[in-house]
Amino acid sequence: MSYTIKEVAQKYNLSPHTLRYYEKEGLLPFIERNEQGNRIFKDTDLEWLNLICCLRNTHMPISKIKEYVNLCIEGPDTICQREDILLKHKKYIEDEIKNFNSSLKIVNNKINFYIKEQKSNICK
């Protein structure tokens, strides 16, 4: 199946400009064009985009994603390097989750404090 840039932008909640930027930066290297020069996205492009969005949403820099994509293009000899990139990013994500959980605990404690304060003030 094929999709227009507008359809893909809507599906991923991205702007067409962002998709063009990703292509220009080499993150979407296999986008084909029709006779009019319009981008045609295939299901395999959407799989790439899904991974790119995941990595961007978890704060991987564009330069690191580009490095990963280039290694993929180079072929199977780069599997260990690609795995290393993803393992390091996984560690980053896990550390961020720990930080967020710690922050969540502090925020929840403060909310509970305010709830108790309200109850004690209302009951007086």
Amino acid present at 112 = N
- Whether 120 shows a pLDDT value over 80: the answer reads no
Confidence of residue 117 (pLDDT cuts 50, 70, 90): confident
- Residues 48-63 pLDDT 10s: 999 999 999 999 999 9
**Pairing state of beta strands 32-33 and 39-42?**
antiparallel
Give pTM, 2 decimals.
Answer: 0.84
Distances (CA, A) of 40 to 19, 31, 70, 118: 12, 6, 21, 58
B/e letters for 67-95, b = 16+ CB within 10 Å, e = fewer, are bbbebbeeeeebeeebeebeeebeeebee
Provide the CATH number for the domain formed by 2-95 in this structure. 1.10.1660.10
C-alpha–C-alpha distance, residues 94 and 48, integer Å: 23
Residue-level pLDDT at 118 = 86
- Residues 19-78 pLDDT 10s: 999 999 999 999 999 999 999 999 999 999 999 999 999 999 999 999 999 999 999 999
Percentage with pLDDT > 90 across the chain:
93
Question: Taking a C-beta distance cutoff of 8 angstroms, is the pair 42, 82 a contact?
Answer: no
The residues spanned by each domain of the chain are 2-95
Name the region of 34 (left: φ>0; alpha: ψ -120 to 50; beta: rest): beta
